[in-house]
Amino acid sequence: MAKLLFIGPPGSGKGTQCKLLKKYGFSHLSSGDLIRSSTDPLIVKYREQDYPKGLLLEDKLLFNLLEKSLPKNFDKYTLDGFVRTLPQAKYAKKKGLVDLVFYIKVYKKTAIGRILKRNEGRKDDNPKSIGGRFLEYQNKTKPTLDYLKKNFEFYEIDGSKTIEEVNREVLKILGINE
């Protein structure tokens, strides 16, 4: 099982855990990174108008972006920021894009504190965008969790722990010994 989905609220540590798994041979596919680097005119328009508000990219555009970016003939990757809606979850199931789901649960106050402390120069790391991102999470992503629980091997992890503690738990679930 090497097609891993990391899901959780903004600032939960999804991207951090995906990056830590690179040393074990996992490719890291971040929808945010793909969106920020895309030259597709529709995605550039989204990035300029909706991304700073914390709004999600339209499912169809995200599917297209992901299809172009998935490693060919490679089944060892982490998905970060893709699956965030029910149509995306159904798409992932239909296409066999996910074997295992890690839901990193963290309180909103903790997550906001983390976002405001990180220094990555992201346009969506400001109070207005953060509010929009949490609203999108609450309305679109959180309802998707039930579908994911029913259709994939699903693990809930306490994201309030340290990065190292969360990583140890992920590695233990994956059967990777340090």
125-176: pLDDT as tens digits: 888 889 999 999 999 999 999 999 999 999 999 999 999 999 999 999 999 9
| Least reliable range by pLDDT among 7-21, 66-80, 161-175 | 66-80
**pTM for this prediction:** 0.92
How far is CA 30 from its chain centroid?
A: 7
Q: pLDDT, tens digit, for every residue of 83-108?
A: 999 999 999 999 999 999 999 999 99
In the predicted structure, residue 119 carries a pLDDT above the cut 80: no
Using alpha carbons only, what angle is made at residue 128 by residues 122 and 130, rounded to the nearest 5 degrees? 60
Phi-psi category of 13—alpha, beta or left, where left has phi over 0 and alpha has psi -120 to 50? left
CA 151 to CA 147: how far, in whole Å? Answer: 6
Higher pLDDT, 16 or 74: 16
* Residue range 63-75: mean pLDDT, rounded: 81
- Tell me, what CATH number does 98's domain have? 3.40.50.300
Domain with 96 in it: 3-174
DSSP character for 132? H
Number of structural domains (the chain) is: 1
The pLDDT of residue 155 is: 98
- Predicted local distance difference test score (pLDDT) of residue 175: 95
CA-to-CA separations, 3 to 36, 55, 56, 71, 77, in angstroms, rounded: 23, 26, 23, 11, 5
- Please check the confidence at residue 1 and state whether its pLDDT lies above 70: no
pLDDT band for position 120 (50/70/90)? Answer: confident
